Amino acid sequence: MIARLTTCFLLALLGILPLADAAAQSRPRIEKAADLPRFSYPVKGSLEALVKDPKAFAAFSADLRRDIESVLAKYDIADKASERQLLGTLLQLDLLEGRDADALKRIEQIRALQEKPADKLLAGLQARAIIDGRQAAGAASGDAYIAAAKASLEAALKSLPYDVVANDIKEAKASAELLGEGRVLGFINEVLQPTADKTGALSSDLAPGLVNARYALTLRLPLKQALVDTYGAYLAANKVDKPDIWAARDATLDPGRDYAPVVVGVWDSGVDTAIFKQRVVRDAKGGPAVIGFDKYANPKNTELQVLTPAMQARLPAMKSRSKGFSDLQSNVDSPEAAEVKQLISTLPREQYKATIEELILAGNYTHGTHVAGIAMAGNPYARLVVGRMEFGNTLIPDPCPSVAQARKDAKMMVDTVEFFRRHKARVVNMSWGGSVNAIEGDLELCGIGKTQEERQKMAREIFDIGKQALERAFAAAPEILFITAAGNSNQNASFAEDMPADIVLPNLLTVGAVDKAGDEASFTSYGPTVKVHANGYQVESYLPGGDRVAFSGTSMAAPQVANLAAKILAVNPALTPTQVIAIVVQTADKTGDGRRTLVNPQRAVERARQTKA
């Protein structure tokens, strides 16, 4: 149920995750993602064969198209991101079926629903290049087609403002560089096939994965080098570093002042406390104050996940690959980036499971230390306590969701909050989340539930157990300010019911991500609970052992605000969580588009000095 938020961003980069109001008044309105209609598609035999066989795929995709079109026609969906995702699957089907006129109309529908400036500018660029290429060449393959598609993309990119689209183009280039047949087929055979074998069907949540796979194999893969070259040329021609707005806003507290120590809890995958030395809170035996649980919610009070000897030996390579992904995302040409490109793009399908699970494990293992480094920076008065939970790294969930496991998870949450209370934490950062739809998806991957409706009901029960326990735990600790990340799914966190980001309490603050120039990150979720934004794009911090690397995600934005809150409490320890939130929000800068509220640490700390509790 619970996942660290940077994992989602990594999987999206790898392509593992699937991709009018007046008239709407007469249609039923869907206010939550869990209420979207569900469908099931019987499948037998090899899914790889289905994806590669035009006739078999056409029969499967006709049913999927019918159901998506019926949902769009019958319902008013409150979340534009969910509507865009449905339209995106139809766009891929249009292109696969050669329905270019329909595809062009679909692109404009998607563009009209885009909410971020870069997304609006980039909507359908690759799709339009495919259409232009085959219309110019009179074919959907061959050198003439590739050249024409490349020329179309080059022409479209020339007119785009670099400062708006730079991050997105870097991510598009990285995604193309990582594309490979073995990775696409590995996902089919290691994720979708076992699920179909257990249940005899794929749900409307997983079925688009087959569309995405065929689209990648038949339309994206032949254009891979053209995409990489074109995006690379655009980035090289516009090599302008975006301005950094955060340096001028930074608030560093000098040591030796009469400021109060502030206990900061990092509730994450674990922290290498040796990095933070004397700033770590100690237990009665003199060791680091840690409460920990394994992925089954069993107590395991180690500060980092315990790795097998084999995994421990692989740790240097795992950390190197973490840096490689970061460099790829930033368009940095490094040996680590080159190794990751080679590894993923040429990955044999037989090695897919082991390789991807190791990459996820590496991300999990390093995540909490990276978050802690951000939360503790520039504040000699911060004192660290660690709440550790393990996030799963397997493609098929382990453990599978159940009511019994949910109750253990709920007790773990309550116990962890009580641990923070006992150690007098004033601020706790949580860069993780879970949703009812994610649980439903895990149930399907595990082969649990005979029907979609049964899984939907089970997922709701399991989700509510965890969310209600978390809400009660937060409410029972009114003296602690909980900071959480908005999520990396580029959608409304409240619509997705992505907890804890969607929880509304006076001592909880949800944070969205922008880049160093204050521009909205492509991945950041949003919605009514997201009150402020901080830098979450290529933020440098520690890995276990003390190495430093830059990661992106709302996981990196949330601890920026936890850092600020701890500084506010250091200069004015009498403030309550509600007062700290008010200072953070009121001293932030609202952008002209109304979508971002950029924190201003310097101004907030000064306001705290002047505020009487």
ω before 528 within 30° of 0 (cis)?
no
Peptide bond into 500 cis (omega under 30): yes
Is pLDDT at 350 greater than 90 in this prediction?
Answer: yes
Res 23: pLDDT? 40
For the chain, the structural domain boundaries read 37-74+79-237, 260-304+349-573
Contact at 8 Å (CB) between 509 and 561? yes
pLDDT, position 16: 52
Given pLDDT bands bounded at 50, 70 and 90, which one contains residue 2?
A: low
Q: What's the pLDDT band for 241 if we cut at 50, 70, 90?
A: confident
Distance set, CA 477 to CA 103, 422, 425, 505, 605 (Å): 52, 10, 10, 11, 24
pLDDT digits (tens, 9 = 90+) for 365-395: 999 999 999 999 999 999 999 999 999 999 9
Q: In CATH terms, is domain 260-304+349-573 a member of 3.40.50.200?
A: yes
Query: Residue 17's pLDDT is what?
Result: 47
pLDDT in tens, 150-200: 999 999 999 999 999 999 999 999 999 999 999 999 999 999 999 999 999
pLDDT at 330: 85
Q: What pLDDT is stored for residue 5 in this prediction?
A: 56
Residue 3 has pLDDT above 80, yes or no: no
Task: Report angle CA 444, 64, 7 to the nearest 5 degrees.
Answer: 45
CA 412 – CA 408 distance, rounded (Å): 6
Written as six digits, the tokens of 166 are 């730079």
Look at residue 320 in the predicted model and tell me its pLDDT. 92
pLDDT digits (tens, 9 = 90+) for 329-345: 888 889 999 999 999 99
Q: For residue range 435-481, what is the model confidence (pLDDT) as tens digits?
A: 999 999 999 999 999 898 999 999 999 999 999 999 999 999 999 99
- Condensed to tens digits (0 to 9), the pLDDT of residues 251-307 reads 999 999 999 999 999 999 999 999 999 999 999 999 999 999 999 999 999 999 999
Task: Share the mean pLDDT of the chain.
Answer: 94
Query: What percent of the chain clears pLDDT 90, i.e. is strictly above it?
Result: 92
**Dihedrals phi, psi of 100, to nearest 5 degrees:** -65, -40
Instruction: Give pTM, 2 decimals.
Output: 0.94
Question: Would you state the structure tokens that stand for residue 205, as one six-digit string?
Answer: 């949540």
What b/e sequence results for 313-334 when a residue is b if at least 16 CB atoms lie within 10 Å of its CB, and e otherwise? ebbeebbbbbbbbbbbbbbeee
Integer angstrom CA distances of residue 334 from 328, 330, 536: 8, 11, 22
pLDDT confidence of residue 19: 37
Say what percent of the chain tops pLDDT 70: 96
Q: Which residues contact 295 (CB under 8 A, 6 or more apart)?
A: 389, 390, 391, 392, 398, 399
Q: Within 13 Å of residue 159, how many CA atoms lie on the same side as its CB?
A: 7
* Each residue's pLDDT tens digit, 553-575: 999 999 999 999 999 999 999 99
* 233 pLDDT higher than 80: yes
pLDDT in tens, 4-63: 555 545 555 565 544 333 344 578 999 999 999 999 999 999 999 999 999 999 999 999
Q: What is the pLDDT confidence band of residue 429, given thresholds at 50, 70 and 90?
A: very high
